[in-house]
Amino acid sequence: MGECRRARDDDPRGKRILSESNASIFNVDRAPLGHRIHEQLLARLDQAERLLHDSAVTHEAAVHQSRKNMKWVRAVLRLIADATGTDLRADEHLCRDIGRRLCELRDADVNLLSLRETVLASGGRLKRADVADFERYLEARRARLLDAGAFDTEFVAVIRDELRELAADLAKRPVPPLTPATVSLAVQRTRAGGATVFRGLSGRTRPAQWHTLRKRAKREYHQRSVLADPADAGRCELLERLGDELGWHQDLEVLRSVARDHGDMTPALGTEIGRQLGNARRRARRLATRVYG
């Protein structure tokens, strides 16, 4: 993760809302596991809705943290479905739709960050002047979607309505009958799915397959957080690093696509993105080998 991203991810205003809910919800040690997970799901949805509404949180941080919450919610819904046989596909699909809406806002910020990170990581091979027109286009698009006058829109209101709809549906559902044993079996199923994707990688692997591996690694990471087993700490660290590396890979792929679509793909930019994609794949493969064997 580069310095441009780290400033956004460490925004204390977004973390304040997260820590407020975590202090009251995530430490109910004596409650049954199913009850704790049910409460965590509702807390994460409440956090996401509050982040998008809180004027003290930067729009970039609100979108970023809300997307992280939705990934956690979707991973845990899959965990409950696998562990109990409950059909949660409608809720999972709504999670997916919310995530896609947030992604439209997120890309407006991340495409610009990715371009600047690419220039910084090029070691002088790519200059800011080489991508000045493309950078101005991305800055204008970001301002159009994320600046104060543009953010409080009908689009964001739709996302908040969907978050409330999902929370209301989950609140009506019975507490899932989960135990550490059933959760552990479901997590192992997720791990096996990630291992299958990893074994299918080759030198000609398409970008979508790397993205699928990232989603499997992130899903396992979030699901293991439910058990909070100290013995999982090392694996969770590797899963998080793998997810972050593949996230950078995906950001580069999206940047390349946007540059091509807008007619700003210069030979210098194309060469540098290709070089950094290759480096990201090599780092990710090394990490994935440690994760999946």
* pLDDT (0 to 100) of residue 21: 46
pLDDT, one tens digit per residue, over 205-236 is 788 999 999 999 999 999 998 888 899 999 99
pLDDT of residue 87: 94
> For residues 39 and 56, what is the distance between their CA atoms, to the nearest angstrom?
26
Range of the domain at 239: 3-292
Whole-angstrom distance, CA of residue 266 vs CA of residue 242 = 30
User: What's the mean pLDDT when you consider all of the chain?
Assistant: 88
Residue 27 — very low, low, confident or very high, per pLDDT cuts 50/70/90? very low
Note the pTM of the prediction, 2 decimals. Answer: 0.86
The Cα–Cα gap between 170 and 74 comes to: 12
Given a cut of 90, whether residue 7 has pLDDT beyond it is no
Which residue would you say has higher pLDDT here, 25 or 56? 56
- 3-class state of residue 247 by DSSP: helix
The enclosing domain of 24 has a CATH number of 1.40.20.10
Digit-coded pLDDT (tens) for 61-92: 888 999 999 999 999 999 999 999 999 999 99
Predicted confidence at residue 155, as pLDDT, reads: 82
Strands (E) in 85-131, as ranges, are: none
Domain count, the chain: 1
